[in-house]
Structure 1
Amino acid sequence: MAYILRAERTHAKSFGEITITAISCLRKDEKNIMVQGTIAGSTSYNNQSLNDILKDINLWKKYSEEINQHFYNFIHNNEVNIENLTSKNLISRNLIFFFSETIKTTETFIEDFQIIHNDIISENITDKTVSLLKNIGEFSAQANIDYGRSWHSDQASAHYAQVSDIYCQLYCRGRDYFVTLQDTSNAAWRLNQYKGTGTIIMQNFNNIFNDDVTNIQQGNNLTMNVPAFSEDILNNLDEKISELINVVTKRSSKDNISEIQQETHKDKPNKTKIMDYLKQINLLENSANITTIISGIISLLNLK
């Protein structure tokens, strides 16, 4: 269907400043997102750290990727049924086109979230960084309104039985997504307070490595082999390693993970080698999320 293909290439339009609250159509256990206020856009970020904001940026980006893929797959896989519904005037082509625009919107949000993520990690928080995040929140607030208006003004609202899949899979999921992202405006307000401060996100983590280098140079017991890790520790380690494998992007990082698995299962594992592999992964990936996982591994294995 041509109108679907056009929707994927069309940039979403600008919206006004009207605000409204909405009740989520989607069960909360279907979203991998932070716990947020029951009223749209009401979550406070007054006491949130920069690391907290970064974690939410990563969650919102992942959520955007999930919605993007869901909308694309649903519309693509149901082209025949959608064409049948529109031909019978059970739903308008304009409404389908409106839902299709969400594909492009999420693509843009994904790119913007990545830019914001990179700016925070590189300690380069600027007016542009804050503006991008604020725009996502303002856009989402208006998109929430437009979702409601578009659905209830369309003939589809009078034919729920015939269009229930579209209602649940597009209208509800899409509106819930935009309701959730309204909180990015609040995060932007807090992020603005970190602008130009040169805050070092991973300073404590890097200090761990720096201390270890000193320890190695001094020849203390960090370079020595230690007794085998207990079964409980190894079981917990396996969970953290699985989590790490799922988020690393570099081949070299995966090779280092394999080395860690082999070393930690030895009768006399070497802490220096394990720390070296973890340091290489951290430098290769340059991700706050991965840094958090690695910090957990360091704590679990008592490498510090």
Structure 2
Amino acid sequence: MVQMTITLNNGVPMPTLGYGVFQTPEAETAAAVERALKTGYRLIDTAAGYMNERGVGEGIRRSGIPREEVFIETKVWISDYGFDQTLHAFEKSSKKLGVDVIDLLILHAPLPTAFGSTLDAYRALEELLRAGKVKAIGVSNFMPDHLDTLVAETNVTPAVNQVEIHPYFQQREVAGTNLKHGVVSQAWSPIGGITVYRGGGSILTDPVLLEIAEAHGKTSAQVMLRWHIQEGRAAIPKSVTPSRIAENFDVFDFDLNAEEVARIDALETGVRGGPEPEDLTLERSGFVIPEA
């Protein structure tokens, strides 16, 4: 099975479908990453704030997959924003991951209450890009005004904006702004797991998705991932269950028709599952990222 890729705005190819390790305990991360890579995933998404970068690096090494075939994406936490601090954040992450070059390094949140630090952090990413220490740079959870300001104030347009997107919360304005700037929209919680985490109902049991899934001999999770791919987005589903890891990757052998895509588009509720980007402040969410 050949995995599709998206070409980023600097020409770097990135796998469309990745494997996420949000909330995966460090002790379980290596085995989960190894399993995902042996299943066929070639993009692993982590973050300094997840506290499991060492496990990601160990899982990659255990898998036996050559380093050049694995696309590693990680994030700088808001506590490490600022030019020098972010340069050091790269050193911490690269050492924990056990790599010299990170494929995609992104800012974890816009930190609008201290956006000057965000801009300085992004300028550090630009420096890392110039130095060849990262292949691409980007952002996460940036709303249209955050992205517009960043693009106006810096020299390198982000390659990726990783945001919450699933059928119940599609962020069309954000996606439109990303498209305007040539930024790839990458969906976290692409099958709506965040809605359950926040105490809501599971998208996986939505009748529309179940009906479409039955028509294709697939699951509702596979239908949602295929929907992301067909709408031009990247997606990073997360599971530590072997059967689910395999199921989430098995989405390249069918197509949704236009009517099915429209029905999924119509599931929009406008209700965010994750935190409001404006609420992520140093006072509320700042914590120290340990040294390597």
What is the TM-score with the length of structure 2 in the denominator? 0.27
Structure with max Cα Rg: 1
Greater relative contact order: 1 or 2 (C-alpha under 8 angstroms, separation 6 or more)?
1
Q: Which has the higher helix share?
A: 1
